[in-house]
Amino acid sequence: MWQIIKNEWRFLSRSRALLGVSLGLAGILFLSVFLGHQQTQSQVAAQQEAKAHLRAQWENIEGMNPHSAAHYGTYVFKPSSLLGSLDEGVNGVTGNVLRVEGHVQNEIVHSEASQMQAASAFGKLKGSLLLQYIVPLLLIFLAFHAVSSEQQSGRLKLLVLQGASSTAIIWGKTLTVWIYGLGLLLVTIGTYTLLYLQAFTTDMLNRSLLFFLTYALYYFVISGLTVFLSAYWQRATLALTTMLGVWILWTIFVPSILMSAVERWHELPSRNSFQTAMRADRAEGLDGHNPADERTKVLEEQTLAEYGVDSLSQLPINFDGLVMQADEEYGNQVWDKHFGNLRTVLERQKNSYQLAGIFNPFVSLQNASRGFAATDNLHHHHFLLQVEDYRRVFIKTLNDEHAFGGSTTGDWGWEADNTFFKSVADFEYEPVRLSSVLPTYAPDVALLLLWVGLVNLLLVLASKKLRVI
Amino acid sequence: MSWLSTYLYEWKHLSHSRFKLVALLLYLGAAVYGLHNGASLYNDRVTEIERIQQKAQEDRNTYLAYYEAGEKGPEDRPWVDVTSPFWAVWYSNVYHFKRPSSAMVYSIGQAEQYGYYKRVSFWASPLDADMTQEIANPERLQTSSLDFAFVFLFLQPVLLLILLYNLKSAEVEEGIFPLIEVQTTNSQGWLLSRVGFYLSILVVLNLGLLFYGALLTGVLKTAAVAFWQLLLFGLFYLLLWTGLYYLVLRRGKTIMGNTLLMAGIWLLLVFVVPAGVQQRVSIQMPANLMADFIDAKRDERTAIFNQPDSVLQAQLFALFPEIVNSPVANDSTKINLARNQSSSSLANELTKASVVKIEQENQTRNSLLRASYWFNPVMYFQNRFNSIAHTHYDNYEQFRQEIQILIDRQIKIMVLDTWEDIEVNEEQFQEYAKTLSVL
């Protein structure tokens, strides 16, 4: 079989057109990763500048009432994932700026897509665009006449007479095309590794390896299936047109149709009804029978009892701070309920979409690619949750200062000093560890493996049925 | 051989080619699905707008009841006085909507990247957080919505490729092309008429699809111009691809070679060029993180409120010279409240200035993209389609401008009436709601 692979490579290297296309594609792949790196760098620089600017404003607050500071709030900018140079995922369509303040959990806003007219239906020129759409097509073009041309030219008979088994021929042809795909994959990952060598962590290494693995599996499916069709149809044109049809269905038709369908099966609420429901829960209580006023009364009685006094004016602390924190905590429960529901719907959508990998391996590849590049919706939600966790600590710190910092109830003119504001920690994003999200992508990898198994079976079938004469 | 006989032969050929028929059916199916997606979004938006309008009217009626009952406002908000212009304008509860065009059925465009309704108040701005997109799965948004425009612009060239890939080259490969040259005397005309046949089929098919889409949302009744514009630009687009493929077929001699070249052109124009252009624009102008806007909404606004009263008043007088000699300007008991209530007008000037800069930056991005049209035709047509369906960036920028006009008007009325010491009654309140919501 190795002799066949060697011969195939010798044959391929003689084709000047292929050499030109290969060099051109490798060049574009190199360029795509390099440009992706440039874009990430410029975005990171802009984020760092904006973050430093806002932090300086916060640290320069000379004196401010903590509750006013909660309204003044802060802003968090969505950090760029270094793996985003390979696959941008959802980052172009999600927002970049999130306001962190008291009383309300804001939404992330100002997406890149909203800042310009339509520019590309398939995203930027990232490695993933070429690896998902263009490279498979090239593999199809390399493999569609792999067997049929040998049959037509009579070389197949010659190969068999020389002692090559049909299995070796079929597998040799498949592996040759697959190795070619791996070569292009290596150019991409290699360029990426070189560009980020200094920032490379174990997590990034593992993610890159898995990224490589999923594409390698997909390329095997494409190469093997095309070789199978080439042997099965015995007519190159038919094999090519069938595979082109499969490619269009897998990469263009099915993903778009499925994503729309999945959103209909598991419907998300409209923004207005979602916010109305949240406002109602916050005002009337989660059970609808526990309005804010009554909750405040209960808290007042508890606090007076705790401090052994009869009125709020006798309290040594500022009761307003306690009320606001209690309201925040209630609001947090409301948020957890509603955003939890939203997350559940989105998870259901993802799970349903993942299942489509059973009949479309491209779906599994796409899911795994943006998942391992840390740019899918799951990672986006992890970021949002981290910001919300930070918001809770941030607001509690301010409310505690309001309650216990030295003021008394009703003293809205009291101000915390600069030392306090400097002591409030800034938001630091903790990248999601691969191990914590790996189970989510296990079905995608498993389905790709299943497809590899299926293609293996087809290749075995093709080698058994191969007609030499 | 006449054109008619070529057409008849080609019809026979097509009806025997299962591959081409399946491709046609798939295209048809995807286009119909895309049209229903567009219609569904259009209907959802119309329904949501009606719901919000109804709720806003209900809320307004609640406040109207205070006038009828002779009350100042809600019991638990003793500071509210609905007879003052400040609170009356605040409770006018005005929304502004980006009403979808019925032509949205053809192109969803950028509609899902922006909010389409906004409660207008004198503290609002067109870039507020509530102007963000509807709740949607970002992975779906990233995958690109399958609307009619997507099918027409990205999949139709593939369909055309499938319909044309073996024209002439099949005859050349089978060795019968010299015979055809003898029979037809004009082989280029023969090829042209065959290509023309498939072009005609697609024109008829697309016309049917456009009419079907028009039935779903009533385009011909409400946006007939959009229908004809789409038809015209659709025809240009189809001619562009047909022309490109015709050149390939005319010069090519093998099915493989032609298929490869046509697929290469498609990949280049649909994937590589637009993606490369977007990448270039993103490097040159990274996403704006709105630091200027944040400053205007926060620090600069706080600075206004911290100014001495005399400075604040001078700024207000400069902005509204009409109030210099107003009754409240000469009433020391009312001037403080009026000054505070009018401060939103100064904050509005700050945010307006920052929004202008952001919009200009966005337009620079758009200019960069537009400059690429001569080698990026697919995106030219995509943006044309979006524009015709009123789902283009510019349509949403227009929506933001309209919001700003309404904010300005609200502020002006609130400030002038406050300083004129006008007492708002039921009729005036209703007049506010009307004046403040109509452009």
Tokens at B437, concatenated: 């919501």
Share of chain A above pLDDT 70, in %: 98
The residues that bridge with B95 in the sheet, in sequence order, are: B119
CA distance A169 to chain B (A): 23
Residue A337 has a pLDDT of 93
Closest chain B residue to the Cα of A96, Cα to Cα: B289
How far apart CA A218 and CA A445 sit, in angstroms, is 10
Mean pLDDT score of chain A, rounded to an integer?
A: 89
pLDDT score for A294: 81
Per-residue pLDDT for A222 more than 80?
A: yes
A402 Cα to chain B: minimum distance (Å): 20
Closest-CA distance, A163 to chain B, in angstroms, reads 31
Residue A219 tokens, joined: 């390329």
Q: Where are the alpha helices (DSSP H) in B185-326?
A: 187-217, 219-222, 224-251, 255-267, 273-284, 291-297, 299-305, 309-319
- By Cβ distance, the residue of A38, A106, A123 closest to B129 is A106
Judged by CB atoms within 8 Å, which residues 370-429 of B form the interface with A? Answer: 379, 382-383, 386, 392-394
Q: Using CA atoms, how far apart are residues A310 and A304, in angstroms rounded to an integer? A: 6
Minimal Cβ distance to A268: which of B37, B51, B136: B136
- Euclidean distance between CA atoms A246 and B361, whole angstroms: 42
ipTM at complex level: 0.87
Question: CB A272 to CB B52 under 8 A?
Answer: yes
A97 vs B281, B290, B365: nearest CB:
B290
Residues of chain B with pLDDT under 70: 1
Residue A288 has pLDDT above 60, yes or no: no
CB < 8 Å to B38, chain A: none
Give me the residue from B30, B135, B271 closest to A134, CB to CB.
B271
Q: Quick one: pLDDT band at residue A468, thresholds 50, 70, 90?
A: low
Taking CB atoms and an 8 Å cutoff, what residues of chain B touch A260? 33, 37, 140, 145-146
- Contact with chain A for residue B44, Cβ under 8 A: yes
Question: Residue type for A336, please?
Answer: D
How high is the pLDDT of residue A147?
Answer: 83
B37 touches chain A (CB under 8 A): yes
CB contact under 8 A, A257 and B30: yes
DSSP conformation letters of A190-250 = HHHHHHTGGG--HHHHHHHHHHHHHHHHHHHHHHHHHHHHHHHH--HHHHHHHHHHHHHII
Contacts of B162 in chain A (CB under 8 A): 241, 244
Residue contact A77–B289, C-beta within 8 A: yes
Q: Please state, in angstroms and rounded to a whole number, the distance separating the CA atoms of residues B277 and B279.
A: 5
Q: How far is B325 from chain A (nearest CA, A)?
A: 34
- In this prediction, residue B85 carries a pLDDT of 94
Nearest Cα neighbor of B437 from B415, B418, B413 is B413
Residue A287 has pLDDT above 70, yes or no: no
Q: What is the per-residue pLDDT for A286?
A: 56
**Spacing of C-alpha A234 from chain mean position:** 41
Cβ neighbour number for residue A90 with a 10 Å cutoff: 22
Which range scores top for mean pLDDT: A29-33, A444-448, B67-71? A444-448
Cα gap B153→A44, rounded to integer Å:
34
| Interchain contact B270–A (C-beta under 8 A) | yes
* B298–chain A Cβ distance below 8 A for any pair: yes
Least confident range of A42-46, A69-73, A237-241, B68-72:
A237-241
Q: Are A84 and A371 in contact (CB under 8 A)?
A: no
Task: Please check the confidence at residue A285 and state whether its pLDDT lies above 70.
Answer: no
Against a cut of 0.80, is the pTM above it?
A: yes
- Residue B129 sits at the chain A interface (C-beta within 8 Å): yes
- Partner A contacted by B257 (CB < 8 A): no
In chain A, which residues have their Cβ closer than 8 Å to the Cβ of B137?
A: 259, 262-263, 268, 346, 349, 377
**Shortest Cα distance, chain A CAs vs residue B151, angstroms:** 9
**Which of B282, B355, B359 should we substitute to test contact with A (largest number of A Cβ atoms within 10 Å)?**
B282
C-alpha angle A170-A172-A173 in degrees, rounded to nearest 5: 65
Q: Give the nearest chain B residue to A376 (CA atoms).
A: B139
Question: Which residue does chain B place closest to A78, by CA atoms?
Answer: B289
Residue B361: partners with Cβ closer than 8 Å, 6 or more residues away = A115, B285, B288
CB-CB contact of A363 with A255 (8 Å): yes
| H runs (alpha helix) in A312-376 | 319-355, 361-372
Tell me the per-residue pLDDT of A78-99, one tens digit each, with 9 for 90 and over: 988 888 888 999 998 998 899 9
Reported as a single tens digit per residue, the pLDDT across A414-428 is 899 999 999 999 999
